[in-house]
Amino acid sequence: MEDFSKSVSPGKVVYPILIGLGVASWMLYRNFDKDAFGFIQWSWIAGVWLLVSILMMVVRDFAYIVRIRILTGNELTWKQAFHVIMLWEFSSAVSPSVVGGAGPAIYFLYKEGINSGKSTAVVLTSIFLDEVFYILLVPVMFIIFRDRIFPIDSFGYAFQIQTGLILGYIAILIYTLLLAYALFINPYSFKWLLSRIFMLPILRKRRMRVRKLANQLIITSNEIKGKPVLYWVTSFSATMISWFGRFSVVNFIFMAFFFSSLGFYEHALIIGRQLTMWIILLISPTPGGSGVAEFIFSDFLGDLIPNIAYAVPLALLWRLISYYPYLFIGAFILPGWFKKVFTKKTVYKIIK
């Protein structure tokens, strides 16, 4: 319990904030332009669109709350589901993106009264639905936009960047197909295969961790077998709504300041670019992609902005709406949540 408490400590909010603001400040200094903030014309129209961008984050979170209630068979109340989602997002925000928040999410569900097997199943199914949405939408966007789905070439490494993004997508596709096989076809054969692979001397150190993962996949497979079509339709619909809510934040921020310069094609391209940007954020070593997100924003979306000097302020505004709130909401909720779920009796059992 002590180790887990430290890993999601509210005090950790300071690190991603410092990283993100530090990188943004460095970028402003490196490419200082006194007119960088000149595009901001505060008006009631700008205020409305910024309010809509914030509302899109509310839509995103509400869709996640609906999905987790569906996946748990409505065993969670709305309040419990809200706490789990906010704490899940908080743990993702304070952890390196390559680590993610799946482990803490299983723990949050368990402490809210969902048995360990079902908690594992809910989190792995959530991850699977997210990956399916991603691998289905990327080809659609590529068919529509072709090479324009890739970022502008600011550093002269267009081929390397495109190759890296394509390889990243292929890796996600292979991972999702393997996950689908393990969940829906034969988890026991998958466990056997992993056990044999991780018998190799170079991989043997991670063998026990992989066996634990394989056992979690078996538990999840048993949990989701026989689920009705409605279960999958509703949970995947919530997944799509949550992702479009996430991506449309940038669209509405741009609408606030560049209302007349962007058409439907450009707005769809903004979503397509964010799909490719997500691959880089997924492997970021920093908490919640802080610093990395602000840095790559101009490369992925700069050609859709009237002046590239506006990119850093826009990136900060985007992160202010879509990332930083989870740090503060999670830090606010976490102490009270710990107090609620850890009675003296429970703490005694864990310490013992």
Alpha carbon distances (Å) from 17 to 53, 94, 294, 297, 333: 21, 10, 11, 17, 18
Convert the pLDDT of each residue in 311-337 to its tens digit: 778 888 898 898 888 888 888 888 888
Residue 8's pLDDT is what?
A: 56
Buried-exposed string 106-135: b where 16+ CB fall within 10 A, e elsewhere: bbbbbbbebeebbbbbbbbbbbbbbbbbbb
Residue 2's pLDDT is what?
A: 43
CA 184 to chain centre: 24
pLDDT, averaged in runs of 10, over the chain (352 residues): 52 60 58 55 80 96 96 92 92 75 84 86 91 92 86 63 84 89 84 74 71 81 87 96 94 84 84 88 76 80 78 84 86 82 50 36
State the distance between the two ends of the chain, measured CA to CA, in whole angstroms: 11
Residue 79's pLDDT is what?
A: 93
Range of the domain at 62: 2-351
Does residue 258 contact residue 307 with C-beta atoms inside 8 Å? no
3-state secondary structure 207-236: HHHHHHHHHHHHHHHHHHCCCCHHHHHHHH
Does residue 321 contact residue 53 with C-beta atoms inside 8 Å? yes
Residue 31's pLDDT is what?
A: 52
Number of domain units in the chain = 1
Give the 3-state secondary structure of residue 287.
Answer: strand
Residue 82's pLDDT is what?
A: 95
* Distance, CA of 160 to CA of 166 (rounded, Å): 10
Residue 349's pLDDT is what?
A: 39
Residue 258's pLDDT is what?
A: 78
Alpha carbon distances (Å) from 131 to 52, 142, 199, 236, 302: 26, 17, 28, 11, 27
CA 150 to chain centre: 20
Tell me whether residue 237 is exposed, middle or buried, using C-beta atoms within 10 angstroms of its C-beta: 0 to 12, 13 to 18, 19 or more.
middle
Longest dimension (CA), the chain: 64
